[in-house]
Amino acid sequence: MARLPLAFALVATAFLPGSVRAEEAPPKPISAPSVATTPMVPGKPARTPYLSEAAAPDMVAILPSPPRGQSAAEAADKAAFAATRSLKGTPRWDLATTDVADGASAILEDFACVLGQRIDQTRAPTLMTLLERVRLDISRATRGPKEHYRRLRPFVGNEAEICVMRTAELGNAYSFPSSHATQSWTYASIMAALVPEKATQFFLRARAYGESRVVCGVHWMSDIQAGRTTGSAVFAALQGDAAFRSDLERTRVELGKLLAAGGTAPDQAVCAREEAAFRDPIL
């Protein structure tokens, strides 16, 4: 009998219960809350987004529909999901598990290696306020296509390994586009505008953060690509908002002072793991 190509063999085996390893593993993290439901500041009312309904990009109109049927794009999504199950136990899987955390505080911490220091977020109120308000714009941008297409996540209907707990909330949350990927790309755009000499590194980290969702098994690769498009559209629309532009300039001054003053150096082992993720594609 002829041997199947590796990609198709992986697709065939990843969905079988017997393909999941039975060895003991540390407890898995609970999936990060949805961008749409997490309070911006616990115990305080959520701030308003920057963009009005009229100014917000219509991502249902902008994004192409997710892959479906027996298309080549859908086959590529399934092959990527199956192939990345083999990353369990590797440093890339560990990074993906760490990247489950989302929100302004988590992603700013993820940018510490790019900045060369950890930002004391209690000393950056303007930056945190800006990122938290933008998060509301991100939520609205991703909500439309999620509810319109109602795409199921890749682990639904199979027993393949994922790096977070399988919960009903996660299984019932729609997949397209990825809110995590949208957040990271939008925030990278903001940070690149604030610290342009590090723009390349911000986007490399944002790319790796989005791809972590594929490694984790909770998003299709096309969800991540759609998240990048959504993040770019949100950031472009924000350029036309006077309040955002004003806050961005105030943040530039605040962040510049913090970076000049210096701060705690990031964990170099973490930075090395991130650098490896930049160099080595997940597929």
At 280 the pLDDT is 86
Residue 51 lies in a domain: no
Listed residue (280, 81, 9, 34) closest to 180, CA to CA: 34
Cβ distance 160 to 19 under 8 Å? Answer: yes
Listed residue (87, 127, 79, 73) closest to 104, CA to CA: 127
- The tally of domains found in the chain comes to 1
At 11 the pLDDT is 40
pLDDT confidence tier of residue 19, bands split at 50, 70 and 90: very low
Residue 125 lies in a domain: yes
pTM of the model: 0.85
Average pLDDT, the chain: 87
**Structural domain harbouring 198:** 71-279
Q: Measured between alpha carbons, how far is 58 from 55 in angstroms, rounded to an integer? A: 9
Q: Measured between alpha carbons, how far is 225 from 207 in angstroms, rounded to an integer? A: 9
Residue 115 lies in a domain: yes
Mean pLDDT of 210-220: 97
CATH code (residue 197):
1.20.144.10
Mean pLDDT of 132-151: 96
Residue 112 lies in a domain: yes
Residue 26 lies in a domain: no
Residue 267 lies in a domain: yes
